[in-house]
Chains A and B, each alone.
Chain A
Amino acid sequence: MIRVLLPAHLRTLARVEGEVKLDVEGKATQRSVFDALEASYPMLRGTIRDQVTHERRAFVRFFACEEDLSQESPDDLLPEAVATGAEPLLVVGAMAGG
C-alpha cells in the first residue's frame, strides 16, 4: 500500500479527502505510482504529468522523507519508507502568489 498526498486543488478534482492509498504492482517508482493513481482517478490525467510524454509538469514537485525527488528518474525506486507505506509521497504545487 502506497500513500500519496495530493495538493488541495487535486484532492478537490479527484473528490478525495486526505491521503490516497494505492496498490501498486511491481516496483514502487514514480511511474508505477502515477500510473496507478491515474488508473484509479482518471480525472488526474494531465494534471501532474504530461498526458503523452509523462514528464512532470513544471510547477509540480514530488517530495518524500524530507527529500525532493522531483529530478529523479521516473523509473528510480522510491524510498523504502514510501514503498512500504510508512511515509507518504507528497505531490506539491510550487509556491506562488495570486
Chain B
Amino acid sequence: MSRVRVLVGTRKGAFILTADGKRQKWDVSGPHFGGWEIYHLKGSPADPNRIYASQSSSWFGQVIQRSSDGGKTWETVGNKFTYEGAVGNHLWYDGTQRPFEFARVWHLEPSLTDPDTAYAGIQDAALFQTTDGGQTWRELPALRNHPSAAAWQPGAGGMCLHTILLDPSHPGRIFIAISAAGVFRSDDAGESWRPINRGLRSEQIPDPTAEVGHCVHRIAMHPSRPSVLFMQKHWDVMRSDDAGESWTDVGGNLPTDFGFPIDVHSHEPNTIYVVPIKSDSEHYVPDAKLRVYRSRTGGHEWEALTKGLPQRHCYVNVLRDSMAVDALDPCGVYFGTSGGQVYGSADAGDSWAPIVRDLPPVVSVEAQTLP
C-alpha cells in the first residue's frame, strides 16, 4: 500500500508526518533542526528520499540541509548564495533604490528528473540552481537583470522569490513569482525572462495594471495541464489558460479573495483550493471560522469545506507555501496554520482532521506519495 510523507517547516524546526494510504494514523518525527526557522522542505520527484531543507536564523544566517534517506538523517550542504555580476538595485519601501541583499532561501524546488538538481528562490528576489545535490549554488542572473528589477519592491515579508513551477511538458519552461513584482516566465531554462502579469489589477500600486509590482502570493498548476495556472494574489484569485499570457479573476462567490495558498487537486485539474483570509490588515480567517474553499469548476463557483475544521473562535492564518496535495485516490489535502496545526483530508477536502495541533507556527507544508 502506498504511503504519504508530509514535510512541515515551522518557525522553530521541521517535522515529518508519515502515514499509510488510509491516512488515519500518523507518526510524527521532529523537531529536526530545533530552534531554527525552516522556511521550506521539499523532496525530489525523481528520488523521494532526497529532500532539501532551507534552515535559517537571524543570528546565524542560511543553512541548507539535504537528506538521502527520506529525512531520517541529514547533512549540511552548500549555503553560499552570491549574486552573479553587478548586484543592482530594487525599490525600497520609502521609494529609494536599495541594492539586492541575500537574506534567506524561501523555496526549494527539486528538478522533476534529477535528484541532484534543484532551484532555490531567495530573498532579495533571485533564482539559484544547484546541479551537484546542493553542494554549490549558482544564480541564474537573467531574472534579476531583467530591466524591470529596479521597480520590484518588498512585500511585508521581504522581497522574496517564493514560487517556482517547472513545466513537465515544456522542458526549460519555468514560472516564478515574486512579492511584490509578479509572475515571470522563462522558456529557455532561465536564460531569459519576461513578466506575465497582463490582467492583474492591484489597487495598492500607483498604476493598478502595471507590468510589474503586483504582490502575487502563490501560483499553482496541474502537471497534466501546465498551461493553466491558478493564482492567489494579495487580493484576487486569478486564472490563466494561456501559460500566463493573460489572467482573469475567478474569485466568484468567495467570502474574501485575500489569502496566501492555492493548490490543485492531484487528479482533477479543474478542482482548486484556497483558504480565504479576512483582509491584508487582519491576517486571520473571516468570521472566526477556518474554511477551505474548493472550486470544482476551475474558479468562479466555490464551496466552503468545514467538516472537522474549527468554526468558532479561530484566528489563524495559512501561509503561501503551507498547502499541499498527495497523489493518492482520493486525493489527500494538507495545510498548516500560524497556530501550529496541520490539518489533513483523505477525501479531497470533504472532511478534515488535525494531524498535529501544537507545533510552532507553520511556514510550509509539502506532501510526498511513496510506493
Contact = CB atoms under 8 A, between A and B. Distances in A.
Contact of A45 (B34, B58, B80): B80
A51 B35 CA distance: 23
B54 interface: no
Contact of B60 (A42, A52, A60, A96): A60
B58 A47 contact: no
B82 A47 contact: no
Interface in A41-79: 42-43, 45-48, 51-52, 57, 59-60
Contacts of A60: 59-60
B152 to A, nearest CB: 23
B59 A94 contact: yes
B63 A93 contact: no
A13 interface: yes
Interface string B50-68: 0000000111111100000
Contacts of B60: 9-10, 13, 47-48, 57, 60, 93
B113 interface: no
A61 B35 CA distance: 19
A93 B58 CA distance: 10
A9 B57 CA distance: 10
Contacts of A45: 79-80
A59 B59 contact: yes
B334 interface: no
Contact of B63 (A47, A52, A94): A47
B39 to A, nearest CB: 16
A59 B58 CA distance: 7
Contacts of A57: 59-61
A47 to B, nearest CB: 4
B82 to A, nearest CB: 6
Contacts of B79: 45-46, 51
Nearest to B57: A9
Contacts of A59: 58-59
B76 interface: yes
A34 B61 CA distance: 16
B36 interface: yes
Contact of A9 (B59, B76, B80): B59
Interface of B: 34-36, 57-63, 76, 79-80, 82
Given A51-B79, A94-B59, 15 more contacts: A9-B35, A12-B34, A13-B60, A13-B63, A13-B76, A43-B76, A46-B61, A46-B79, A47-B61, A48-B60, A57-B59, A59-B58, A59-B59, A60-B59, A93-B60
